[in-house]
Structure 1
Amino acid sequence: MQVKYIFYLTFGVLLFLAVSACAQMETGLDKDSLKRKLSVMHADSDKVQTLIRLGQQYETNTPDSALYYYEAAGKLSEGIHYLQGTLRYIANYTAVLNVQGKFKESLQLNLRAIGIARKGHLQRQLMKALINTAVVYQYTEHYREAVNYYLQALPLVDSIGTLQERSITYGNLCSLYRNLKQPQSALRYARLALAFGEKNRDDYTVAMACINLANCLKDMGKVREAIIDIERAGRLGLKLNDDNIQETALINLGDAYLSLKEPAKYVPAYNAALPLARKISDVSGECFALHGVALGMFFKKEYLQAERLLNTSMAFARQHDQKEAWSRMLLLMSDVQIALGRPEASEDYRGRYDSVTNVLLNASLLKNIQELEARYGAEKKRRQLLQKDLQLARKQRWLVISLAGLAVLGLVFLLVYRRQETLRVKAMLTGEQQERRRISQEMHDDMGSGLTRLLFLTRSLIAGHEAAPKISDAVNGLIRQMNEVIWMMNNERDTLESLVAYLRAACAELLDASGIAMIFTVPDKMPDVILAQEVRRNMYLAVKEAVHNACKHSGANTITIAIITDKELAVSVQDNGRGIDLAGAALGNGLGNMQQRMENIGGNLEIVSEAGTLLRFSVPLSI
């Protein structure tokens, strides 16, 4: 008899804030040192932070003690009206509650944290509270609510989130897609989570990302590949002495060998995971470990023992609202009943399994996750919707398309003419003859060639309708070029913040079209400075050309763009591709153009070719 078994452990949603907290532990102080420090401290914000740090020391292996110190920190914060302390108490306290399966209490506290953070205008704390609330809903399979809170949190994660927070958030999204049986989307987010974790050199988030990636690979039938990532996570758990990671790795290892039908390997894994799950009060892990142990009994034909264990395990899973594990236990109990010669009982358990599964995978949930994907990154999605509208418009009669193309052509000519007239008058009034010649040359080079191509395509449209789709591409490219020139000329866009925002949007569009992942980092706070027009123009064009060259020549799958502001403005573009031969590339790939642009503004270009290619453009902020 073949037993189908699908295992989904949402480890990526585990302890979003606890991970952040672990990274903030005060090094050099153990439990006894922190307790001695507490005994002589005044009742102030420092004592709150020390109580939380002490709780973190206990959280991994003695969660009840952690709750005691977190609760003490919360009471003290309330007494001295310390909002940040109250929010840190809630974040750490609810992380432990989630592991213990006390989701109702955790949800109430996290919703309270959202209200406190919004009232106090605390953006980072609001981001974390929104994600922690989504985590609780995701734990309890309320995906509609989880989607809602992730949608609210994602813009904050993108703008102010650290590498660690981005890694964990993408891990949560990976788990959400896995719950909804969308493996390709889950795999994409798992790889992004691992990339951010490795870039941050954080063993904890790397371990979690490995678990998520392994689960995605198992979903796609790549079990042997998954085992490599699971074993890596287990080694990191041992290195960190973290029971959570070790327990999760063991359960996933058992699941992998189960799918390969190797009971000699999966039964020991489940048996080893069970005491760890009970030690840290992880009800979700305990449920899946119990199911694995029962399954081992089934394959050993110990049917009565399996039935007894499943009866208690199913009650435990229902008590703690673990629908996923409960559904697997129901399916296994159905097979046990057949083995015991009870077909009617087997049919009853199978019907209950089907009912629970339908609740977990109803169509409305799939619709919700599609809504998340559609609404995330609002500007990008608006462009995609516009493109869909254009595709529908192209289905109209070819004569209408030709007329529309001619109308667009006339409009573009009018815009170019008016822009050139404005620039001509400005040059005459201000005497900036050199600026006028430069803009006229760019108008001629960029827009002139684009208009010529558009005119050619319009003429060919009359003879061959296949050229119609190319009109839109030509017009869109021309409009983008014109928008760049307009942005460079706009004095209202001469701030450093405007340059960074425009760079980010342009690079994202280039890399998205090339199928290359982008990591874009900015300082937590940028100086409020005004950049000369020449600095903005040359820095933007140089960076854009570097990204374009990397897309075209590097063979990379990830490009990292980092903004650094100190006494100078530095923009680095690094890919993980094949690298370049610096000696042979001296006159190629536009390096000469980029070097000249930096020299024109008193800046510098550095090139390093190790593990890919790094181009660093820098210019003094005083310019």
Structure 2
Amino acid sequence: MRLNFYVISLISCLLVGAESKVIGQTKTSQQVDSLASQVKKLQSAGKTGDTTYARTVADYAYYLYVSGASKQADSIARQSEQLARNLNFGPGVARSMVTQGGAQMQLNHSENTLRIFQQLIRDIERYKLPKLTLCRTLANLGMVYRHRGQLKEALDVTMQAIQIETRYTIRPRSESLRATLGYLFRQTGEIDKGIAYVREGIAIAQENEDLIQQAPLEVDLGALYNEKEQYKQSIVAYGDALTHSRQTGYEHTQVDALNGLALNHSALGHAQQALAFGKQALALAKRLDYTHNTANAHYTLGEVYMKQKQYVAADAELHQAFLLAQESGSLANQVLFVGERAVVAALRNDYRNAYIYKIQEQKLRDSVMTDEQKTRTDELVARYEAEKKEARIKLLNQQAQLRDKELAVKRWQTNALLVGGLLIVLLGGAVSAWLLNRARLRRLEEAQNLRKQIAHDLHDEVGSTLSSISMLSSHTDTLLSQNRPESAQKIVQKIYSDARQILESVDEIIWTINPGNDSLHRIALRLREYAQPLMESKGIDLQFVADTSLDQIPVSMEVRRNLYLIGKEAINNLVKYSQATQAVLRFERKEDRLHVLIEDNGRGFVQESFSTRNGQTSMKQRAEAMGGSLEVHSVPEQGTRLVLTTLLA
């Protein structure tokens, strides 16, 4: 018997800055434990009112969802969503709602999942979130529609997502979009097209090293091969899905893969393998307590037993599948399962029950048709409303044309206004020319100031050091003539150190004036490159976070220079004096302001000594020159927190 079984696994995408790459159940559990510990620490420290806490709680909920703890994940994600909304923290809202959608889908509440993702589409516009988030949310919405059998809606939102992905060159590309297209082509009978899209999705998942996305796609591929009765290829695909879902610990996909393996081995006559895989699928589905998966696992075993002519066992499994389908309210599955019971009864020569099941199957089909008719009626009503709106618009256009004819009589009055308007245009042209000339002068002045700044930097950073090198070089000759090589070697080392300092200073000057670095994201990356080796040399674990939206925000050379020097000075102080083991460097945008956080868990210092230690007065002056502010909070033995805030252009 051909495979009529198909399970859709909703895998939500991390839309808020990075893709999730969870390899192995052990690593997933470790991530959950680590995040739970971080949440408790932040609560103990009283830091429950900032975005760091909101992001950490959202991440904790997400990894609970990935580990299969759906109810707990949903509860915590609701809390993190409310916290993120209170903070007006869009990425946190998105992360929390994606987790809620996935958890509700695992709990078989597709209506809730649909509502959550539709709300998220509106929130993406409200919080001005990146196009990547919109694309991935549309992809997930398409998968929800697909799961609910709303194929037209699934195709519409999936094509919207593909257009956005192509238009904005979004990377990494979405695997779930290809999964949805593969399924839709499967429904239309275009199996080869479906296989092509699913294979493309698998290639993307492999490129992203994302086994969580790859395993369900391999389940989809197995189902497509099964449609073509290519059972060996289907077994390979389901086998890959089982291996990868076990590596990620995602057990719902394991049930799908085991069911697929059971049915395909059964089709090839591999009785023992088919029965073993079917029993594994049922045991795992029961442990997960997921009605939809458990019903399908019973159905699979029923099909396996039927193939082996064990009709009593087959009917018992199909009966259990039917009861669970009734419990979940799935009419389509009820039709399928009771229809198979009719086939089994006929094979047992139990024609009375076969007739009863066939009557029941027909009644259920009528119910399905009634639902479909209601859907079509709703569509016709919606179309009628749209046509009414179009007729109303047409009437308004006709009324507008009548008004235009009435206004034509008055147009001669506008001639005088045209003359006045011409004079205004001429005046505006004169003003524009004056403004352009003024802008030209300003650019010349800025160029002159830039030249002065470069000359000043070269004098301060390079001139004195070159003079020192010159004097040390002449002294080296004297020492060598006096046969004092040890002293000469020390001076040569000093010359080498000074020369490296000059190279670093010149590199910083060139980097500062390079127009290609006119973005906050480039400054953040430059500071990370500066900080990473210094902190590694001291055994400090650096956590670096930078909003991707900063890449679109240009900054002037002066702001870039001051921001870099403040960050460099703060990093130097942290490495030299803090004795820390952990540090955080964070660049984030909050509305129209840039917040730069440099924080460590080191020994701290007495707050009153702030203005006199380690060049921090100079740091405050540079912050004020940028039109911003610099705040330092430190308590002995409790670390230091430096926050730079400035307006964005």
Tell me the TM-score normalised to structure 1 length: 0.53
C-alpha offsets along residues 76-122 of structure 1, whole Å, 9 cap, x if unaligned? 33332353122222332233222222110110011111211222233
Aligned to 1:329: 297
- Change over 3 Å in CA distance of 1:278–1:373 after alignment to 2: farther
C-alpha offsets along residues 145-192 of structure 1, whole Å, 9 cap, x if unaligned? 223222322122245131211121111111011112233332333333
Are the aligned partners of 2:226 and 2:264 in contact in 1 as well (CA < 8 Å)? no
5 Å matches for 1:183-262?
183-198=151-166, 201=169, 204-262=172-230
* One-letter code aligned to 1:68: D
The reply to whether residue 147 of structure 1 matches residue 147 of structure 2 is no
Query: CA separation in 1, counterparts of 2:134 and 2:398?
Result: 46
The reply to whether residue 389 of structure 1 matches residue 354 of structure 2 is no
Aligned to 2:484: none
Q: Secondary structure at the match of 2:136?
A: helix
The reply to whether residue 63 of structure 1 matches residue 32 of structure 2 is no
Are the aligned partners of 1:164 and 1:205 in contact in 2 as well (CA < 8 Å)? no
- Change over 3 Å in CA distance of 1:61–1:392 after alignment to 2: farther
Are the aligned partners of 1:214 and 1:229 in contact in 2 as well (CA < 8 Å)? yes
Are the aligned partners of 1:194 and 1:210 in contact in 2 as well (CA < 8 Å)? no
- Change over 3 Å in CA distance of 1:320–1:204 after alignment to 2: farther
Farther off after superposition, 56-65 or 163-172: 56-65
C-alpha offsets along residues 197-240 of structure 1, whole Å, 9 cap, x if unaligned? 45555554433332332233223222212222222333333333
Which protein has the larger Cα radius of gyration, Structure 1 or Structure 2?
A: 2
- Change over 3 Å in CA distance of 1:407–1:186 after alignment to 2: closer
- Change over 3 Å in CA distance of 1:372–1:316 after alignment to 2: farther
The reply to whether residue 20 of structure 1 matches residue 24 of structure 2 is no
Aligned to 1:306: 274
* One-letter code aligned to 2:113: A
5 Å matches for 1:541-580?
none
Are the aligned partners of 2:211 and 2:244 in contact in 1 as well (CA < 8 Å)? yes
Query: CA separation in 2, counterparts of 1:168 and 1:87?
Result: 21
Query: CA separation in 1, counterparts of 2:399 and 2:244?
Result: 71
Structure 2: gaps (5+ residues): 333-367, 426-548, 555-649
* One-letter code aligned to 1:86: Y
Query: CA separation in 1, counterparts of 2:181 and 2:83?
Result: 35
Query: CA separation in 1, counterparts of 2:378 and 2:174?
Result: 25
- Change over 3 Å in CA distance of 1:81–1:230 after alignment to 2: same
The reply to whether residue 267 of structure 1 matches residue 235 of structure 2 is yes
Q: Secondary structure at the match of 1:5?
A: coil
- Change over 3 Å in CA distance of 1:324–1:222 after alignment to 2: farther
State the structure with bigger RCO (CA 8 A, min sep 6), 1 or 2: 1
* One-letter code aligned to 1:261: E
Shift, 1:357, TM fit: 4.5
Aligned to 2:39: 74
Q: Which of 84, 97, 101 pairs up with 1:130?
A: 97
- Change over 3 Å in CA distance of 1:309–1:406 after alignment to 2: closer
Query: CA separation in 1, counterparts of 2:375 and 2:62?
Result: 24
* One-letter code aligned to 1:105: Q
Are the aligned partners of 2:65 and 2:103 in contact in 1 as well (CA < 8 Å)? yes
Q: Number of aligned pairs? A: 391
5 Å matches for 1:274-313?
274-303=242-271, 305-313=273-281
Are the aligned partners of 1:90 and 1:113 in contact in 2 as well (CA < 8 Å)? yes
- Change over 3 Å in CA distance of 1:423–1:187 after alignment to 2: same
* One-letter code aligned to 2:36: E
- Change over 3 Å in CA distance of 1:178–1:140 after alignment to 2: same
Identity of aligned residues (%): 14
* One-letter code aligned to 1:137: Q
Q: Secondary structure at the match of 2:174?
A: helix
* One-letter code aligned to 2:305: Q
- Change over 3 Å in CA distance of 1:388–1:354 after alignment to 2: farther
Shift, 1:301, TM fit: 2.6
C-alpha offsets along residues 541-568 of structure 1, whole Å, 9 cap, x if unaligned? xxxxxxxxxxxxxxxxxxxxxxxxxxxx
C-alpha offsets along residues 591-613 of structure 1, whole Å, 9 cap, x if unaligned? xxxxxxxxxxxxxxxxxxxxxxx
Query: CA separation in 1, counterparts of 2:291 and 2:408?
Result: 62
5 Å matches for 1:323-402?
323-357=291-325, 359-360=329-330, 387-390=386-389
- Change over 3 Å in CA distance of 1:177–1:365 after alignment to 2: farther
Are the aligned partners of 1:21 and 1:92 in contact in 2 as well (CA < 8 Å)? no
Are the aligned partners of 1:183 and 1:220 in contact in 2 as well (CA < 8 Å)? no
Shift, 1:283, TM fit: 1.3
CA RMSD of aligned residues (A): 4.4
* One-letter code aligned to 2:124: V
Shift, 1:254, TM fit: 1.7
Query: CA separation in 1, counterparts of 2:376 and 2:29?
Result: 39
Query: CA separation in 2, counterparts of 1:68 and 1:423?
Result: 75
Query: CA separation in 2, counterparts of 1:255 and 1:174?
Result: 19
* One-letter code aligned to 1:189: V
C-alpha offsets along residues 348-384 of structure 1, whole Å, 9 cap, x if unaligned? 433443454562468899899999999xxxxxx9xx8
Query: CA separation in 1, counterparts of 2:397 and 2:223?
Result: 58
Are the aligned partners of 2:181 and 2:197 in contact in 1 as well (CA < 8 Å)? yes
Structure 1: gaps (5+ residues): 24-55, 375-380, 395-400, 437-521, 528-623
Aligned to 1:180: 148
* One-letter code aligned to 2:34: Y
Q: Which of 69, 73, 91 pairs up with 2:58?
A: 91
Are the aligned partners of 1:144 and 1:368 in contact in 2 as well (CA < 8 Å)? no
Aligned to 1:43: none
Are the aligned partners of 2:2 and 2:226 in contact in 1 as well (CA < 8 Å)? no
* One-letter code aligned to 1:21: A
The reply to whether residue 9 of structure 1 matches residue 9 of structure 2 is yes
- Change over 3 Å in CA distance of 1:195–1:71 after alignment to 2: farther
Aligned to 1:589: none
Query: CA separation in 2, counterparts of 1:251 and 1:298?
Result: 17
- Change over 3 Å in CA distance of 1:336–1:422 after alignment to 2: farther
Are the aligned partners of 2:142 and 2:155 in contact in 1 as well (CA < 8 Å)? yes
Are the aligned partners of 1:331 and 1:349 in contact in 2 as well (CA < 8 Å)? yes
Are the aligned partners of 1:135 and 1:172 in contact in 2 as well (CA < 8 Å)? no
C-alpha offsets along residues 386-428 of structure 1, whole Å, 9 cap, x if unaligned? 643257889xxxxxx99x998776566567879x699789889
Are the aligned partners of 1:16 and 1:95 in contact in 2 as well (CA < 8 Å)? no
Are the aligned partners of 2:295 and 2:324 in contact in 1 as well (CA < 8 Å)? yes
